[in-house]
Structures are given as C-alpha cells and as structure tokens.
C-alpha cells in the first residue's frame, strides 16, 4: 500500500538523506547489510521479551531498508547486483524477525501457537514471490494491504504490549493471507488477457529471412 500510494512522497523525503549519506561515504550495500544486523538484534530482543527496546531497533531496521535505495540513486550506482542483494537480505530479515517471535512464543506460550509466525512467514514469502514471478513475466504485481513496510509497522504495534502481542500476530496472518490471495487474483486476471499483436517490425527474424530469400530468388529470375 505504501509502495503504491506514497512512493513518490517517500522518495522525495529520503533523497536528500541519501545524498548526505553518500557524501559521508556510505554505500547502499553497507546500509543493506547493517539493516540485517539490526534485524538480528531486534529478533534477539523479541526472543528474550525486551519488546520496548525491540521497537527502537525495529524502527532502525526499517530506516536502513528505506534509505539503501535512496543512497543507490544518489550515488548513481544502482545495479542489478545491488537490487538482488537487497531483495535477498529483505527475505532473510523477515525470517530472522519472525524467528525471534517464534522463540518468544515457545518460551511464554503453550501448544501449537509457535506455528503462527511460520504461517505469517509463508504468506509473506508468497507475496514476495508472486511479485517477483509476475515481473519476470512482464506483469505488475505491486500493491496490497500488507507489503513489507506495513508488516514492519504492524509488528511494532504487536510489541507495544504483551496483551495484544498474539492478537496482532493473528491479524497480521489474516492480512498477509488476504494480500497474497488478492495479488494472485490480480495477476491471474491480467495474465488471462490475450497478448497484443506485435507489429510487423517485431516479427521473428526467421520470417524476415524467409522474405529476403524469396525476394532474392525473384530478382535472379
């Protein structure tokens, strides 16, 4: 949702910060890697029950994730390798954070509740995978209620008080599942439309070669 509706405003806000960080010699890859370190520290604090302090580090994790793209643009070093690295680290960070949640639930709750963060992680990965696969097919799959920024915010809300921790996790599962299903429906609908006919200029090369051979024969006769 934030990525679709507020991306221009966020980019306009982070661009000066990204330029300032570049002047200090900070690279996008460094921000991406340090964001993973903060995610690990956040997960550890969640696991041991230090949730108020975990909120602070979760916010710092989010800032790293938000600024690495701005730094890449400001340094004019945006690359496929950097984009790949950022995407992989984002997935690892999600797994680490929800791993900390699972550890906390194991220590403080009984039964199968520990499976809740793994269910959230599965829905989260489906959201990311569907976007990646759709874009590889030339289709758009952005948007939805629970993209990464919204998930980070909702996790921060869950950490505010132990009494709402589990209920907010259930809410997160519902919303991520709805987002995954909604994204699947949108891509499925778009993919069902017939592809537009290609202009003659974009026909396969072998067709052009055949026409050239036919013309050559006619000229010879």
Catalytic residues: 90
Query: Is the separation of the CB atoms in 125 and 177 below 8 Å?
Result: no
Name 98's Cβ contacts closer than 8 Å, sequence gap at least 6: 117, 118, 120, 121, 124
- Please check whether residue 144 is in contact with residue 179, taking contact to mean a CB–CB distance below 8 angstroms: yes
According to DSSP, residue 6 is labeled S
Between CA 2 and CA 23 the distance in angstroms is 28
d(Cα 125, Cα 107) in Å, to the nearest integer?
25
CA dist 128 to 147, 148, 150, Å?
Answer: 9, 9, 14
Q: What angle do CA 23, 80, 184 make, to 5 degrees?
A: 120
Q: Helix (H, G, I), strand (E, B), or coil: what is residue 27?
A: coil
d(CA 184, CA 22): 38
CA–CA distance, 6 with 27 (Å, rounded to integer): 24
């Amino acid at each position: 949702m934030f990525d679709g509706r507020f991306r221009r405003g966020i980019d306009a806000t982070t661009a000066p910060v990204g330029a300032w960080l570049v002047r200090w010699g900070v690279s996008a890859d460094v921000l991406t890697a340090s964001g993973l370190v903060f995610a690990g520290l956040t997960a550890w604090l969640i696991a041991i029950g230090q949730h108020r302090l975990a909120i602070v580090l979760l916010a710092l994790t989010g800032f790293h994730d938000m600024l690495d793209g701005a730094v890449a643009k400001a340094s004019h070093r945006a690359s496929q390798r950097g984009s790949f690295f950022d995407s992989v680290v984002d997935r690892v960070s999600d797994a680490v954070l929800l791993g900390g949640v699972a550890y906390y639930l194991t220590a403080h709750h009984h039964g199968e509740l520990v499976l809740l963060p793994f269910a959230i992680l599965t829905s989260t990965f489906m959201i990311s995978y569907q976007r990646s696969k759709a874009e590889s097919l030339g289709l758009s799959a952005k948007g939805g209620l629970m993209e990464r920024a919204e998930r980070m915010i909702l996790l921060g809300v869950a950490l505010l008080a132990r009494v709402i921790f589990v209920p907010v996790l259930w809410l997160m599962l519902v919303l991520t599942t709805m987002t995954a299903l909604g994204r699947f429906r949108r891509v499925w609908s778009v993919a069902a439309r017939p592809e537009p006919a290609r202009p003659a200029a974009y026909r396969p090369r072998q067709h052009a070669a055949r026409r050239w051979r036919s013309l050559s024969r006619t000229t010879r006769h």
